[in-house]
Every structure is written in structure tokens, then in C-alpha cells.
Amino acid sequence: MTRTDTTGKTPDEIREMARASRRESIASFERSDTDGFLSQWASDIMSSVLYLEADIVENGGMAKFLALFDLNGNFVPAREIQTRYGTRWMVLDADGKSTGEFLPYLPARRDTLAKRGFVEGFVLRPAYAGTAGSGRGLSGACSVHAVAIPKTKPHEPPASVVTPDRWAD
């Protein structure tokens, strides 16, 4: 997907671009019913990306991301990876290299990570809107959606910490 240039635009201007993209999808459907499904699908995805970009711009170029912390609330460099056992945290050293420690990602209970000395929280990082997906083709097995993409590396300290414990009240 080509990235739409939103440089210098206000959040309201970007949201208007998103509404225009959605109108293109509706007009395509009215013209060709489902024969234009691909352009309708692309217009709808682009609309979602633009709405997210407007939110990021409105938030000073920042987006919220899940992060790993120690039990004292200190940021721990780590990144999310896919393994044969599912999604895991890969703990990183100061240079962004794996330490060899892998932890559960988004466990159902706080204690799952806490018993190993870690907890998940949220941070703000500079970001832009893009797409992510899984599956193949445009069948039901394909899932493409708008996501915030960090502009910094996962081992770099975040701009700020929202909360060092996602389970805290």
C-alpha cells in the first residue's frame, strides 16, 4: 500500500481525507455493486489508516504501545516475536540483541510474568499509521488492519511511560 502523505496536515484535514476515502468505497459499491470489491476494500483500509494517523498527529506524533517492565517499574528492552509456541517477548540487551530470555506475551494473569520478575505496561513512542495483516489473499483467512508503527527501535527507551503495570487500577 502506498503511504498517503499527511505531512503538515492537521488532524481534521487528515480525518477529511479518511472520510473521502470511505466515500470512494461507497461510490464504487453504488457503481458496480460487489464487482469493485478490491477497490472498496482498499479504500476502507486507507480510511482506517488515515483515521489512525489523525489520532497520532493529534497526540503529538505519539502512539501507545505495550512494553515490558521489571517489578520496580523500570523499562526492559524487549520485542514481540512469533515462535512455534505463539507470540512471546524476546528480552533484548542495550544493543538490541537477544539475551536468550523469552517470556509469555499478554498472559491472562499478572502472576504469569511477575513470578519471573516482569510485568507488562504501556509506553508512548513516536509513530506513524500503517497496515499489518496475516493470511493470504483477500479470503476470510486474510486480515489487514490499521496499526500504529513505532519510529524507534524496541530496545530504545520510550518517550514516556503511560503505566508500568497494565493490571494496576
Residue 1 pLDDT greater than 90, yes or no: no
Q: Answer with the residue of higher pLDDT: 38 or 135.
A: 38
Confidence band of 28 (pLDDT split at 50, 70, 90): confident
pLDDT exceeds cutoff 70 at 34: no
Task: Confirm whether pTM is higher than 0.85.
Answer: no
Q: Which DSSP string corresponds to the chain?
A: -PPPP-TT--HHHHHHHHHHHHHHHHHHHHHHGGGGHHHHHHHHHHHHHHHHHHHHHHTTTEEEEEEEEETTS-EE-EEEEEETTEEEEEEE-TTS-EEEEEEESS-SSHHHHHTTTEEEEEEEEEEEEEEEEESSTTSTT-EEEEEEEESS-TTSPPSEEEES-TT--
Q: What is the mean pLDDT of residues 27-44?
A: 78
> Which comes out higher in pLDDT, residue 105 or 144?
105
pLDDT band at 3 (very low <50, low <70, confident <90, very high): low
CA atoms of 127 and 117, how far apart (whole Å):
29
The whole-angstrom distance between residue 94's C-alpha and the CA centroid of its chain comes to 23
pLDDT one-digit tens code per residue, 88-125: 999 999 999 999 999 999 999 999 999 999 999 999 99
Instruction: Compute the Cα dihedral for 119, 121, 126, 128 and give only its sign.
Output: positive
pLDDT at 89: 98
